[in-house]
Amino acid sequence: MREILFDTETTGIVPDHEDPRQCDRIVEIGCVEVINLERTGREFHAYVNPGRSVPQEVVRVHGLDEAFLRDKPRFADVVGGFLEFVADAPLVAHNASFDQNFINAELRRCGLDQLAGDRFVDTLVIARKKFPGASCSLDALARRYELDRYGFDLAARKGAGGHGALVDARILAEVYLQLQGGREQRLAFDVEVAAAAGETGAVTFMRRAPRPSPLPPRITAEEEAAHAAFIAKLGENALWKRTGS
């Protein structure tokens, strides 16, 4: 199953406002393609000129200031590539309503159809059901699942500019896999079964062909006689006699 894990960085938290100049805008989009929960390596990433100021408190989170964004394309220039990449796949995000509202607000400004709500999967909802009462922020989940083992620099995320849409989407892809059962569920012990299920990314264990001739027994005649004597003492209902061993 193909899904798109994605994240956005913005100028704030208000995608719609009666005064258009007060609307917050997207400044970065990051998307990661997964098939059967495994990353394929295909990604979509774009920085976006929001056409407005970027508050310093937001810059401290993602590090994208007006000087950096000034020569970047507008959303209308990147939306075609974004929609082509996501196609009709489900869209998975952490606190999905936030990203959904921003994406749809930008689509409306471009005169394009909005993305249906039932396309979005919210990993925050999944995490809260799995860990009731615990912190379920993306960073908390990354620490819980020890994603630094997979090369993610979790310490760097505590500093200024430590968050970014693409790196967050990559982290989310790993968190989503763990929330759905982890890598253990990817083990397929029969090649034919895995192939039939389309599990091309599964770990498979190849069955060895039988030896053309059995190995000679390593037990000695004395050991075999001692074993037979021991079995004789167990009585007629001994398990060894039932199995023919």
DSSP 21: G
∠ CA 51-98-119 to the nearest 5 degrees? 110
Distance CA 195, CA 101 (A): 39
| Contact indicator for 28, 161 with CB cutoff of 8 Å | no
Distance CA 97, CA 35 (A): 23
Nearest CA-CA partner of 33 in 96, 81, 102, 85 = 85
Distance CA 62, CA 60 (A): 6
Residue 163 annotated as catalytic: yes
DSSP 150: G
Catalytic residue among 45, 94, 163, 227: 163
Radius of gyration of the chain (CA): 28
Residue that the structure tokens 């000034």 belong to: 70
Distance CA 169, CA 138 (A): 10
Alpha-carbon separation of residue 134 from 88, 130, 137, 140 (angstroms) = 33, 9, 9, 9
Q: Which residues are catalytic?
A: 163
